[in-house]
Amino acid sequence: MVIDLRSDTVTKPTEEMRKAAYEAEVGDDVYVEDPTVRKLEEMAAEMLGKEEALFVTSGTQGNQMAVLTHCVPGNEILLEEESHIFYYEGGAISAFAGVQPRTIKGTRGAMSPTMIETAIRGDDIHLPETGLICVENTHNRAGGAIVPLENMARIYDVATSNNIPVHLDGARLFNAAVGLGCSLKDFTQYTTTVQVCLSKGLGAPVGSIIAGDKNFISRARKWRKRLGGGLRQVGIIAAPGIVALSSMIDRLSEDHDKAKKLSDGISMIQGLTVVNQVDTNIVLVDVAKKGVTSVEFIEKLKEHGILAVPFGQTVVRFTTHYDVTNEQIESALNILNQC
């Protein structure tokens, strides 16, 4: 038995999702004629509190489309120094949009509104214009931390007063909403645009959503085509997304409970130290006291049927999800205690 704790992206579609894909009514989405896609986009727009939404193939594609749509070449964007857009998207904001990042050190993923205001460029021929502020919630490299609503509100006020749009990388925004017991709109009211993933904790096999006003979506649709993301009978992969939004959100609390159970158990194991506050479904563990690197420790775990990912020289990330059972968490703790 393999216990896969690498990421919530490894989840398999449910039987209901597979059935929905098989039975999906389809049409050419480049012509905006796929009824299943339209239903998904309308449902998502309503949930996110935006005028319109657009189905895209991945979270990275959605984030890049947002940067491309909001910015012009030569702009600068402000974002947290370990944010996914900066850290994990292959330098795409520079390669595709021709913008440069200006990173701000956050606390558990939350940037200081004062630091953001200071970082916004003035009207000077020597300086790039600040074209966008990006926020990530939950914050992956901060261990799935929930960025507080108050922090997002203050950043949005700074942005609005300076006529700068705010994009939310909400790949795991559903986890944040469930974690705080609030609605998605409580977060997205402090954003101009938002991207959310259907293929992480919600378990859909593929796809993300970007949302904003009608003008933004119209321009983003063209960028999607330019990036090769204009698809044809795409309802087959959109249908599982409808199932995800309809029935997979509330159950994310189960993943959070499993992460807490894993964290509590690891904290009792000599040589292992949980280094993050576990808000959602990610647990970060420092293995330095074991006298090994994260890669070495992961290889040892793999021999015992546990999969995880390195998150630094001595830090390992474990992520709980739909396909990990409570029994597997118990088994993982037994193995960790022996390694």
Q: Would 2 be classed as within a structural domain?
A: no
Whether residue 159 sits in one domain with residue 237? yes
What local confidence, expressed as pLDDT, does residue 4 receive? 98
Q: What is the mean pLDDT of residues 205-216?
A: 98
Q: Which two tokens stand for residue 67?
A: 């940067």
What local confidence, expressed as pLDDT, does residue 306 receive? 98
Whether residue 223 sits in one domain with residue 277? no
Q: Give 19-26 contacts, CB < 8 A, sequence gap 24+.
A: 20/239, 20/240, 20/242, 20/243, 21/205, 21/236, 21/237, 21/239, 21/240, 23/239, 24/235, 24/236, 24/238, 24/239, 25/235, 26/233, 26/234, 26/235, 26/236
Whether residue 111 sits in one domain with residue 61? yes
Q: What is the mean pLDDT of residues 148-177?
A: 98
d(CA 27, CA 49): 26
Whether residue 322 sits in one domain with residue 215? no
Q: Would 7 be classed as within a structural domain?
A: no
**Percent of the chain scored above 70 by pLDDT?**
100
State pLDDT tens for residues 322-333. Answer: 999 999 999 999
Q: What is the mean pLDDT of residues 154-182?
A: 98
Q: What is the mean pLDDT of residues 288-292?
A: 97
pLDDT at residue 195 above 90?
A: yes
Place of tokens 């944040």: 176
What local confidence, expressed as pLDDT, does residue 145 receive? 98
Cβ atoms 145, 276 nearer than 8 A: yes
Whether residue 30 sits in one domain with residue 140? yes
State pLDDT tens for residues 18-66. Answer: 999 999 999 999 999 999 999 999 999 999 999 999 999 999 999 999 9
Whether residue 221 sits in one domain with residue 298? no
Count: domains in the chain: 2
Mean pLDDT score of the chain, rounded to an integer? 97
d(CA 339, CA 297): 8
Q: Would 4 be classed as within a structural domain?
A: no
What local confidence, expressed as pLDDT, does residue 1 receive? 82
Whether residue 43 sits in one domain with residue 125? yes
What local confidence, expressed as pLDDT, does residue 217 receive? 98
State pLDDT tens for residues 54-109. Answer: 999 999 999 999 999 999 999 999 999 999 999 999 999 999 999 999 999 999 99
State pLDDT tens for residues 227-284. Answer: 999 999 999 999 999 999 999 999 999 999 999 999 999 999 999 999 999 999 999 9
What local confidence, expressed as pLDDT, does residue 257 receive? 98
pLDDT at residue 159 above 90?
A: yes
Nearest in space to 195 (alpha carbons), one of 55, 18, 314: 55
Whether residue 83 sits in one domain with residue 31? yes
Q: Which of 247, 267, 300 is the last residue of a domain?
A: 247
What local confidence, expressed as pLDDT, does residue 214 receive? 98
Q: What are phi and psi of 304, to 5 degrees?
A: -105, 10
Q: Which of 247, 265, 300 is the last residue of a domain?
A: 247
For the chain, how many residues are written? 339
pLDDT at residue 192 above 90?
A: yes
Whether residue 159 sits in one domain with residue 51? yes
> Domain of 69?
14-247
What local confidence, expressed as pLDDT, does residue 339 receive? 84
pLDDT at residue 313 above 90?
A: yes
What local confidence, expressed as pLDDT, does residue 238 receive? 98
pLDDT at residue 302 above 90?
A: yes
